[in-house]
Structure 1
Amino acid sequence: MSRRRITQETFDAAVRENMDEFEMGPAEALSEAVEQFESQGVDLSYIVKAVPAGSCGDKQENHLVLQALESIRIGKNLETLSDIKQFTEQCSFGFAQRYLAAQKGAYAIIFSFCKNSVEAHDAVLAGLLALAALSDGQPDLLDADGQQFLLDILKKYQDSSTVLCAAICAVRHCCLKHEQNRQDLIKGGVLALLTGAITQHSECAELVKGASAALRVMTFDDDVRVTFGHAHEHAKMIVLEHNGLKVLTDAAKAHFNNTSVLSELCATLSHLAVRNEFCQDICDLGGLKLIMTLLADNYESQELVRQVLSAIRAIAGNDDVKDAVVNAGGVQLIVIAMDRHMGNASVCEQGCACLSVLALRKPNNCKVIMEDGGTMAAVQAMKTHPDAVNVQKQACMVLRNVVSRMQNYSQAILEMGAEPLIAQALHSHKDCNDVGKAALRDLGCQVELRELWTGKHGGITN
């Protein structure tokens, strides 16, 4: 059930009433208004929770983001440039500020400024930063003219890494949770512009990171308004038509000491490993060696470890890559990473997922996983994160995949305490039902398997 919502004007009126009628100070009046509406079940996530500034006599009170917006609308030249930077700063404070600005026509005003500033480097940079800030969480604002403008900027300013970074940020914000924007921009050639920007400015960490993130967004299927997205097709286009795997692996080699950039690149590579041959291509391009080195050299970096494990999980969908990972000492590195970050549920989930994929249909890999402590790490993850359903599911899959073709390991895993942990996962998480029962069955434990349908008896009746 959706929560009630109110307008900014209603909230501001309540704050003013508290100040005028009940003689409260600004802070107390604001706190009282927030408490009042929240007690009534009102959703205030869209509301700027601040006392409007600029009241003077009969002058209309306004929030700072709207004051900056109005200054942009009526301002000229250098004054406007200062105002637009202030607007961008206000938008960065939170979604409520951006939403309020959008409700007051900010997109048209900012877009007009951008179009009028195309030939001025500093001005168009400021305009793009404002557009990127405004569209964060509001991709519906972008219209066809805005799409074409972003494409034109990416072409016109190919030599300016700073302008490209701002334009790419705007592209990414406008494509998150918006399938139509993704499709329209891709039809307009944005993929070539993004991969080209990475290649041309491979030394610019900020641009490589931003463009990689934008490419990854193009492979998302996150717009609930669309029944079927083109995520898979977009990933194939990036790889086959724009040489995306080589572009990204080369960029990773150029920023080998920058964990922030490497995390983004690993995340994007994992989203592009959508076909068996793509997984092999990543390996052949030196991506696997790079990933293994990253994991070995940066196991203290929690975020990088998580993204590296996610990449290993993705590319190990290829059976030959599975063997390559294991032969490169990948199991030992995964276990070390899990042990180091056992308290982090995301790392444990990705680590278990990697081990599960490596064990699938590979008895020799199962032997290595047992000998290198992979099953023990999975059991420990279950103990450490009993409430994390994804950790429980992935750990159950590790145990199941290891013993499904190597029954001789069942007793050793049971002695680790696996059975009660799996039983607890089944009791606590409905999503663990299938994988948990499969793990118990293959471990030789007693499990109730319910036959849902036998295909007998009569036909369907109303």
Structure 2
Amino acid sequence: MAQAWPKAKPKLTQDAFDEAVASNIEDFDMSRDEAIRSAVEEFNVQGYDLSGVVTNMAGNDLQSHPIAVACQGLRDACGGQGSLPEALEALSSSLQASTPESSGTAGGSVPSLSQEASIIAHKGGAMQALLEACRQLQNKTDELLKALKLLQVLLGWLETRDAFTEAKARTGVELLHDLLREGASIPEAKTAVATVAEAAARQVEEAKCRLVDSGTVATLLEQMQEPNAPLDFLGAACGVVRSVTTADDERPPASKAFMHARLLAKNHAAIRVLLGVLRRVPAAEEPGTACRVLGTVRQVAANEEICREFTDDGGVMACLHVLNFNDAHVLEVESGPTGLISDLLGFNKRYAPFRECAAQRDVCRACLGALRQLAHSDTVKKLLAEAGALDQAVHCVELHSGSDDVVEAALGLLGNMMLRQPEICAKAAVAGVADVVVEAMQRHAGRAHVQRQACLVTRIMVARNPELRPLFLERGAEALLRAAKAAHPASCRDVGSAALRDLGLDNYND
């Protein structure tokens, strides 16, 4: 049965909110602050959506706000009345003045606008004006980059992202495609375009569909294959591919994320492009970009066929080398009957930049996540087991035993590898997986996602291998499983009971 999302709340208008505040002041003799608080509480109780209302400026003339004035100035400049560069600078300054100090821009991150600033910019037509400015500035790189940066800032708010897709004349998506093909002639501009596309697609299904249907994502995949494509662009382009293959918009009844993954893999060689990028990125020096590539691989590898294609081209071994696996062991496996890569020396040299990355938590987690997705394929399960991935997953947990997200990802990989594979379960026992499970449950007792994966791994290991039951029982697994069920009933009651049952214990439902 399909999931039914909750009915959307009715949107409250600014006029209705202002009227309620004025009524509170006049009829109940409230101060302005009291009147605003009372109106907010009342409309929340009535079930209204206040996301489009500037609550702390109720009754004021929004058109006189500096952001609204700057938006009008930009619209005028786009119509030939004024200087575009000056209008962009004015809008940038007004937005920056309304940016919470805590958001900052350290490390090149995009500042987060306050809700007030986002609403005023949206009502002032900033999105449409910036799109028009980008069209007029295609051959002026510095000004174009500033306009694209402002677009990215505005796209932090959901309603602005909707406006980006619904813009009049040609949509924002079509503009981005034009810039990629013709207007963005330098790498910095292409990177900025890809970054805007990723921001626009977040939690907006319509934008995802238009990015794919317009050919924008296909163009990005083509440009990712260019030998001189900079790493910043590769990371941003991966972000777009990942966005369109992620179902994160709860408003429509269904998502096309899975269809997009199949389409991009089949018609545009997306998984092979990603493997080529993974081979290029020096993960030790560029961990952020490596994480983005691996996260995108995880999303695109949506079915057995895609997983097999990635594996046959050497993708699984590429991921293992990101985790600094033993080269000699991998080469021995690759020279065997699978024959995935013929030039062993070339293979070893190709992945040399990836060594010593398992100690980097984010890279380790991203790589485990990609392998976890690939391990849904029975063929990949066996290849991973032969290549020593069981030992590598255990090693990752040892390196990051205090990081619940890495532990959860490692347990998820182990569970997928062993599912319906009794021979791999036996190897896992030798690799010390039972110890890993018990220690994870003890260390992360308060983390429901870790506890759930630990319950699943326990059940998978003993369901078809009853001889492994003592490994868990002697280590106190029963008490840990019952504690997980009690502490996290929503996540662990079902899997915890199943694990207790397969351990041969009575009263497993208690």
Q: Does TM, normalized by the shorter one, top 0.5?
A: yes
Q: Which residue of 2 aligns with 1:94?
A: 113
Equivalent-residue separation in structure 2 for 1:7 and 1:361 (angstroms) = 58
Q: Does residue 1:347 correspond to 2:370, yes or no?
A: no
User: Which amino acid is 2:502 matched to?
Assistant: D
Q: Which residue of 1 aligns with 2:87?
A: 80
Deviations along 1:378-421, one digit per CA (max 9) or x if unpaired, are: 22222222232221111111011111111111011111111111
Equivalent-residue separation in structure 2 for 1:335 and 1:62 (angstroms) = 61
Q: Which residue of 1 aligns with 2:492?
A: 432
Equivalent-residue separation in structure 1 for 2:312 and 2:36 (angstroms) = 57
Match of 2:502 among 442, 454, 462: 442
Q: Tell me by how many angstroms 1:74 deviates.
A: 4.2
Cα distance, 1:442–1:140 mapped onto 2, change above 3 Å: same
Match of 1:263 among 278, 291, 305: 291
Which region of structure 1 is more displaced relative to structure 2, 239-248 or 282-291? 282-291
Does the 8 A contact of 2:134 with 2:147 survive in 1?
Answer: yes
Cα distance, 1:253–1:197 mapped onto 2, change above 3 Å: same
Q: Which residue of 2 aligns with 1:171?
A: 197
Q: Which residue of 2 aligns with 1:233?
A: 259
User: Which amino acid is 1:438 matched to?
Assistant: A
Cα distance, 1:344–1:35 mapped onto 2, change above 3 Å: farther
Equivalent-residue separation in structure 1 for 2:479 and 2:62 (angstroms) = 66
Q: Which residue of 1 aligns with 2:314?
A: 286
Q: Which residue of 1 aligns with 2:452?
A: 393
Does the 8 A contact of 1:140 with 1:178 survive in 2?
Answer: yes
Q: Does residue 1:120 correspond to 2:146, yes or no?
A: no
Equivalent-residue separation in structure 2 for 1:220 and 1:379 (angstroms) = 33
User: Which amino acid is 1:347 matched to?
Assistant: V
Cα distance, 1:242–1:273 mapped onto 2, change above 3 Å: same
Does the 8 A contact of 1:161 with 1:201 survive in 2?
Answer: no
Q: Which residue of 2 aligns with 1:140?
A: 162
Does the 8 A contact of 2:176 with 2:216 survive in 1?
Answer: no
Equivalent-residue separation in structure 2 for 1:340 and 1:400 (angstroms) = 25
User: Which amino acid is 1:217 matched to?
Assistant: S
Equivalent-residue separation in structure 2 for 1:384 and 1:65 (angstroms) = 50
Which region of structure 1 is more displaced relative to structure 2, 132-141 or 287-296? 132-141
Structure 2 unaligned blocks of 5 or more? 1-5, 22-31, 100-110, 325-355
Does the 8 A contact of 1:88 with 1:134 survive in 2?
Answer: no
Q: Does residue 1:338 correspond to 2:338, yes or no?
A: no
User: Which amino acid is 2:266 matched to?
Assistant: L
- Identity level (%): 24
Does the 8 A contact of 2:394 with 2:431 survive in 1?
Answer: yes
Q: Does residue 1:423 correspond to 2:443, yes or no?
A: no
Q: Tell me by how many angstroms 1:367 deviates.
A: 2.0
Q: Which residue of 2 aligns with 1:23?
A: none
User: Which amino acid is 1:328 matched to?
Assistant: A
Matching of residues 399-418 of structure 1 within 5 Å:
399-418=458-477
Q: Tell me by how many angstroms 1:113 deviates.
A: 1.8
Does the 8 A contact of 2:113 with 2:153 survive in 1?
Answer: no
Match of 1:370 among 423, 429, 433: 429
Equivalent-residue separation in structure 2 for 1:422 and 1:282 (angstroms) = 36
Q: Does residue 1:69 correspond to 2:95, yes or no?
A: no
Does the 8 A contact of 1:87 with 1:130 survive in 2?
Answer: no
Cα distance, 1:263–1:233 mapped onto 2, change above 3 Å: same
SS at match of 2:191: helix
Cα distance, 1:37–1:252 mapped onto 2, change above 3 Å: farther
Q: Tell me by how many angstroms 1:285 deviates.
A: 2.0
Match of 2:377 among 293, 318, 321: 318
Normalized against structure 1, the TM-score is what?
0.83
SS at match of 2:246: coil
Q: Tell me by how many angstroms 1:355 deviates.
A: 0.8
SS at match of 1:241: helix
Equivalent-residue separation in structure 1 for 2:267 and 2:468 (angstroms) = 46
Q: Which residue of 2 aligns with 1:162?
A: 188
Deviations along 1:332-383, one digit per CA (max 9) or x if unpaired, are: 2211211222222211211111110111122221122212222221222222
Equivalent-residue separation in structure 2 for 1:172 and 1:372 (angstroms) = 41
Cα distance, 1:442–1:82 mapped onto 2, change above 3 Å: same
Equivalent-residue separation in structure 2 for 1:305 and 1:340 (angstroms) = 10
Q: Does residue 1:183 correspond to 2:209, yes or no?
A: yes
Structure 1 unaligned blocks of 5 or more? 15-28, 451-462
Normalized against structure 2, the TM-score is what?
0.76
Match of 1:216 among 236, 242, 245: 242
Q: Tell me by how many angstroms 1:277 deviates.
A: 2.4
User: Which amino acid is 2:469 matched to?
Assistant: S
Does the 8 A contact of 1:396 with 1:436 survive in 2?
Answer: yes
SS at match of 1:200: coil
Does the 8 A contact of 1:348 with 1:381 survive in 2?
Answer: yes
Deviations along 1:234-257, one digit per CA (max 9) or x if unpaired, are: 001111111111211111111123
How many pairs align? Answer: 435
Equivalent-residue separation in structure 1 for 2:319 and 2:397 (angstroms) = 16
Q: Tell me by how many angstroms 1:197 deviates.
A: 2.3
Equivalent-residue separation in structure 2 for 1:112 and 1:367 (angstroms) = 63
User: Which amino acid is 1:289 matched to?
Assistant: M
Q: Tell me by how many angstroms 1:167 deviates.
A: 1.6
Does the 8 A contact of 1:51 with 1:63 survive in 2?
Answer: no
Deviations along 1:69-88, one digit per CA (max 9) or x if unpaired, are: 34433453331242344356
